């Protein structure tokens, strides 16, 4: 990690040194293990930004346990921490024992060295689709236990042994809480929700199919009101998303390998200018 005494000078170097500004931003942000002082301010967009004044989710709380502590990705806005606390409490009403919380973001947000293109401004969190066990997990268990896919092996369909009423109700509650912009799930999970009879189906608009979300769901909050530096994603399309747009995910089209070369990693120069100050601040 960067020595604390050097952080105060880093912003000057970042702005003055073109070479440093062209380094992969994931290396720069991944090297800082504490947030800036002052208020929480998300800067930029979910996949190209940073956060000042991040707060850390405790490793353990009423009805949740955080996983993969060694990654140090339990940081976010106060709104995100409050959301996790609220969902952990709300889900117990349906008998869900508690949340296993995956990645949020880094201490100053920004790109990560592995795992995510988004999670950069403190408004994203991954939550496992398995309930918390009946004991406090050890440090080793938090690093070695793996999330379990809820799909039938080799298919895009849910496995009823791993995804049923309890998981559907958890997603319902997750989407109903204030501030949610989107929740990303595997297409099979979305289809299961679409096929369920709900008195109010409006929450389904926020549940969006996306690659790789077969063992967890990804909650994305909207930008906090009045924060001009934070860029919201375009609103989700109208409707419940259960028609042709979902059918598309059960064709081969979304999964064809790209013929384009992989994009180079984001540099500090690619991020909003304020992120240089966030990175270098005390």
- pLDDT mean for each 10 residues of the chain (282 residues): 39 56 91 96 98 98 97 98 98 96 98 91 98 96 97 96 97 98 98 96 97 97 97 94 96 91 92 94 84
Instruction: Provide the residue count of the chain.
Output: 282
Kindly calculate the radius of gyration of the chain based on its CA atoms and give it in whole angstroms: 19
CA distance 52 to 37: 8
C-alpha–C-alpha distance, residues 169 and 220, integer Å = 18
Buried b (16+ CB within 10 A) or exposed e, 93-130: eeebebbbbbbbbbbbbbbbeeebebbbbbbbbbbbbb
Name the pairing type of β-strands 60-61 and 41-45.
unpaired
Are 120 and 113 contacting, i.e. CB atoms less than 8 angstroms apart? no
Under a CB-based contact definition with an 8 Å cutoff, are residues 273 and 25 in contact? no
Which residues, 6+ apart, have CB-to-CB distance to 130 below 8 Å? 100, 147, 148
d(CA 82, CA 93): 18
For residue 101, what are its two tokens?
């919380």
Q: What is the predicted pLDDT for the residue at 116?
A: 86
Nearest CA-CA partner of 34 in 5, 72, 84, 78: 72
pLDDT score of 17:
62
Give helix then strand counts, H and E, for the chain: 9, 11
Burial class (CB in 10 A: 0-12, 13-18, 19+), 200: exposed
User: What pTM did the predictor assign?
Assistant: 0.92
Residue among 103, 121, 20, 13 nearest 67 (CA): 103
Give the Cα separation of 122 and 114 in Å (integer): 16
**Distance of alpha carbon 214 from alpha carbon 157, whole angstroms:** 10
Dist. CA 219–CA 161, nearest whole Å: 24
Cβ–Cβ under 8 Å, residues 12 and 276 = no
Q: Give CA–CA dist 272/282, Å, rounded.
A: 19
Residue showing tokens 């942000």: 29
Kindly state the tokens that stand for 194: 């679409």
């Amino acid at each position: 990690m960067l020595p604390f005494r050097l952080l105060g000078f880093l912003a000057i170097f970042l702005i003055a040194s073109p070479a440093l500004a062209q380094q992969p931003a994931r290396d720069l942000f991944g090297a800082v293990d504490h947030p800036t002082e002052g208020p929480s301010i998300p800067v930029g967009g979910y996949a190209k930004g940073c956060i000042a004044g991040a707060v850390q989710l405790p490793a353990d709380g009423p009805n949740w346990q955080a996983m993969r502590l060694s990654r140090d990705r339990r940081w976010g806005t106060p709104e995100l921490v409050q959301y996790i606390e609220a969902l952990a409490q709300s889900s117990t009403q349906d008998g869900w024992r508690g949340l296993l919380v995956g990645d949020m973001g880094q201490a100053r947000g920004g790109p990560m060295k592995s795992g995510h293109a988004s999670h950069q401004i403190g408004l994203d969190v991954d939550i496992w689709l398995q309930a918390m066990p009946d004991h406090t997990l050890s440090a080793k268990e938090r690093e070695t236990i793996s999330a379990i896919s809820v799909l039938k092996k080799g298919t895009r369909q849910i496995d009823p042994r791993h995804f049923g009423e309890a998981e559907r109700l958890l997603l319902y509650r997750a989407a109903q809480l204030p501030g949610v912009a989107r929740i990303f799930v595997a297409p099979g999970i979305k289809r299961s929700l679409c096929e369920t009879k709900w008195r109010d189906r409006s929450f389904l608009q926020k549940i969006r199919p996306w690659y790789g979300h077969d063992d967890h769901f990804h909650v994305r909050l909207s930008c906090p009101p009045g924060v001009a530096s934070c860029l919201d994603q375009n609103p989700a399309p109208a409707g419940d998303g259960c028609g042709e747009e979902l059918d598309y995910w059960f064709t081969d089209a979304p999964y064809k390998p790209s013929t384009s070369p992989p994009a180079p990693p984001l540099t500090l120069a690619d991020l909003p200018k304020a992120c240089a100050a966030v990175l270098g601040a005390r």
